[in-house]
Amino acid sequence: MPFWVLLLLLSWSAATGAGSAQAPPPVEQVGAREKCPVCGMFVARYPPWITQLHLGDGKVHFFDGMKDLLAYYFDPAAFGGRKGAKVTAIWAKDYYTLQWLDGRSAYYVIGSGVHGPMGHEFIPLASEEKARAFLRDHQGREILRFEEITPELVGSMRGVHTMGRGR
């Protein structure tokens, strides 16, 4: 292939985003019969708390809070998922605006007096400033980034709220 053709293809690819891995957008309408794979609750009943995990095969799992999404994320096999499946997107709703935000870039407040459908919850917020305000206003214990959350922390927050499914 001539050098100029290769340069033209690379330029076109960069301009159009072709070949770049882009996260799939959040699903805006969650079906009334969609169940959380961790606890079995119908997630559409709790719109402010809905979270989504998108997999490389196009499958989307919906959860009734970030805590259950994280339980699945760390141990999908315990909830009927496939260990090692590629996660292409994680979506959560900002507590204040209810706008979708990238779950991997969110700030999470734990230990507050605000509980989700399954009790204690990781409260997602779009910015550190919002997280600090939430922490102060709701007597939160700590602000975490996604990469700071561990399976042990998720397990401790889930406690007895396992609804008989998984661990």
Rounded Cα distance, 143 and 155, in Å: 18
Dig out the tokens for 99 from the structure. 């706008």
DSSP symbol at 28 = S
**Tens of pLDDT, residues 75-88:** 999 999 999 999 99
Query: What pTM did the predictor assign?
Result: 0.83
Question: How big is the CA angle at 158 (ends 156 and 161), to the nearest 5 degrees?
Answer: 140
* Whole-number pLDDT of residue 108: 98
Rounded Cα distance, 17 and 148, in Å: 31
Band of the pLDDT at 17, cuts 50, 70, 90? Answer: very low
* Whole-number pLDDT of residue 159: 84
Could you give the 3-state DSSP secondary structure of residue 16? helix
Rounded Cα distance, 21 and 59, in Å: 16
Strand ranges (E), the chain: 51-55, 60-63, 87-93, 100-102, 107-110, 123-125, 142-145
Nearest CA to 40 among 166, 155, 154? 166
Q: In what helix (H) or strand (E) does residue 4 lie, and over which residues does it extend?
A: helix 3-16
1 pLDDT higher than 70? no
**Tens of pLDDT, residues 26-48:** 999 999 999 999 999 999 999 99
* Whole-number pLDDT of residue 21: 64
Rounded Cα distance, 32 and 85, in Å: 26
6 pLDDT higher than 80? no
**Tens of pLDDT, residues 92-122:** 999 999 999 999 999 999 999 999 999 999 9
Q: Is the dihedral of CA 89, 92, 98, 101 positive or negative?
A: negative
8 pLDDT higher than 80? no
**Tens of pLDDT, residues 59-73:** 999 999 999 999 999
19 pLDDT higher than 50? no
Band of the pLDDT at 49, cuts 50, 70, 90? Answer: very high
